[in-house]
Amino acid sequence: MTTFRWYLLWVALLFGAYVAVEYYRPKQLDWTPTFQNKDKIPYGAYVLYNVLPDLLGVAERDVHTVRVPIYNQIEGEDEPDQSFEQELEAATDSSQLVVDTTAIAENTTQDSVDQTATSSAAEAEDADYEAGLTEAGYPKATYIFIDDEFQLSASDCRALLRHVARGNDAFIAAEQFSRQLTDTLGFRSEVSLNRARRRKATIDTKLLDSVRLQLTNTQLARQAGPLGFRLPALGAAYRLQPDSLMRGTELATDTAGQAVLVRVPHGRGHIYLCSVPLAFTNYFALQPRTGNFAFAALSYLPAGRTVWWDEYQKQGRQGEQTLLRVLLAHDALRWALYLSVVGVLLFVVVEARRRQRIIPILKPLPNTTLLFTRTIAGLYRQGNSHAAIAEKKIQLFLEHLRTRFHEPSLDLNDEEARERLAQKTGLPRPEVDALVRRINFLLTARQLSDADLLGLNKAINDFRKAAS
């Protein structure tokens, strides 16, 4: 074996070892916050979703994953079409949303959030409101939403509020909420910068790397310990800021007293709002010091009731997956796809630039055949070589007869050849014989004059015109 082959063998072995190491190397941990119930990564919701039956006291078959919009799930039909203007009007008019949620009440005469109403009128209104929302056969279900952002349309918001008003509960854990919901319930979600203060100092000096959350319920707070629940500051940066219209109860706050978990009554049910969705993920649910926060927050929900776990806002409708999902599911294939797309785009750009160069204007080549022929003919005429001109003229004429009348071996001295030529051209035999005699005469003459050459040219042209 030569030295070069040894080199090739070592290269092949090293390449195989590299492939084996890359294949069996532990996968890098994915810290992307997906909040999906199928993900076992740190910021997925696989653990919480699987303990819901035990946590809420229901059977596994009573926990349903929802992959349709809120309106479709609650009303059991497709969401009605709305123009952009209607959506915008519904999104900006918070009072209209409140009215829509109570539209099914038979005797509702004023807004539920009117601060100037008397206590007796408010009690009468609530009684009429609850009576109007009583519907036989309406499903009792707890709707749970856990995501970093909670967005919904106007029709979804009205459907969710009607669902809660009929005596159901909704649990929403998100950092940012839809404007329709915030305007209706009267709160906002804002970022809170937690800072540590030095003693006897009047200004903030240092950002905290973690946040301590505590429950307002004394029994639950006692189980959490004196230090409460400590979460990273970046994962618990949002706080719920209620306004004057909000009638909510704070269930959990930070050390500064800012709410992170609020219960808002609506109709006959309640809406639970939490601004720390990261606490419900696998990583924090499995930690002894932080796991009880998610379980304590969900313990406020009624037990023994059907649970709807929303995955529509995180995964979309069932079956709505890209055709490239296999490639996008693996890092190596995903990067190969990206590099291929970039390479194709670069090729298109470079190739297009190369093909779009300015096309130079080229002058057409002059036709010098006629000029060359005239020059040669002039040389012959100046040398009085009429015999040579006549010979070439006769040869071109005979070649024309062979190709035009399919006579490969035409011999004008042959009697049968002249007869066939007369028949194919349709000319009288005497004319053919006269032309042949003129040709033979000129071929055997020692010297030709201008008149002889002109006569030959005229006879040939006449013959070609008559034969065509």
Q: Are strands 149-150 and 176-177 parallel, antiparallel or unpaired?
A: parallel
238 assigned to some structural domain: yes
Residues 149 and 182 in one domain: yes
Longest dimension (CA), the chain: 145
Query: To the nearest whole number, what is the mean pLDDT of the chain?
Result: 79
% of the chain beyond a pLDDT of 70: 79
One domain, residues 358 and 462:
no
Last residue of a domain, one of 303, 329, 362: 362
Tell me how far apart the alpha carbons of residues 68 and 74 are, in angstroms, rounded to a whole number: 10
Task: Provide the pLDDT for residue 25.
Answer: 82
pLDDT of residue 320: 54
Average pLDDT over residues 2-18: 87
* Co-location of 101 and 187 in the same domain: yes
Q: Which residues pair with 146 in a beta bridge?
A: 173
Phi, psi of 57 (to 5 degrees): 65, 40
Report yes or no: 35 and 47 within 8 Å, Cβ to Cβ: no
381 and 253 fall within a common domain: no
Q: Domain span at residue 344? A: 321-362
Exposure string for 316-348, b = 16+ CB within 10 A, e = fewer: eeeeeeeeeeebeeeeeeeeeeeeeeeeeeeee
**C-alpha distances in angstroms, 224 versus 228, 257, 274?**
5, 17, 18
Number of Cβ within 10 Å of residue 123's Cβ equals 11
pTM of the full structure = 0.58
Are 299 and 446 in the same domain?
no
Pair 141, 247 in one domain: yes
Contact 216, 232 (CB under 8 A): no
Which of the four pLDDT bands, split at 50, 70 and 90, describes residue 319?
low
Residue 392 CA, distance from chain mean position:
76
Categorize the per-residue pLDDT at 327 as very low, low, confident or very high, splitting at 50, 70 and 90: confident
Q: Which of 288, 319, 350 is the last residue of a domain?
A: 319
- In this structure, the answer to whether residues 336 and 303 fall within a common structural domain is no
Nearest to 258 by CA among 198, 200, 187: 187
pLDDT confidence of residue 342: 93
Residue 327 lies in a domain: yes
Dump pLDDT digits (tens) for 382-435.
777 778 888 888 888 888 888 888 888 788 888 888 888 888 888 888 888 888
Would residue 14 count as lying in a domain?
no
- The mean pLDDT value for 351-376 works out to 76
Q: Are residues 150 and 181 in the same domain?
A: yes
Same domain, 190 and 276: yes
The pLDDT confidence band at residue 300, using thresholds 50, 70 and 90, is very high
Residue 11 is assigned to a structural domain of this protein: no
Q: Is 20 inside any structural domain?
A: no
9 within a domain of the structure (yes/no): no
Encode pLDDT of 252-261 as tens digits. 998 888 999 9
* Within-domain flag for 60: yes
What is the torsional sign of CA 55, 221, 302, 188? negative
Residues 377 and 308 both lie in one domain: no
CA distances from 299 to 91, 142, 217, 317, 324 (A): 32, 12, 12, 29, 40
What tokens were used for 92? 């900006």
Q: Which residue has the higher pLDDT, 85 or 235?
A: 235
Q: Considering 319, 354, 385, which residue would you say is the last residue of a domain?
A: 319
Residues 333 and 389 in one domain: no
Residue 6 has phi, psi (to 5 degrees) of -60, -40
Q: What is the pLDDT of residues 161-181, one digit of tens each?
A: 999 999 999 999 999 999 989
Only one residue has tokens 């959350």, namely 213
Domain count, the chain: 3
Question: How many CB atoms are located within 10 Å of the residue 46 CB?
Answer: 16
Q: What is the pLDDT of residue 127?
A: 42
Q: Is residue 4 part of a domain?
A: no
Q: Are residues 132 and 235 in the same domain?
A: yes
- Coil, strand or helix: which one is 259? strand
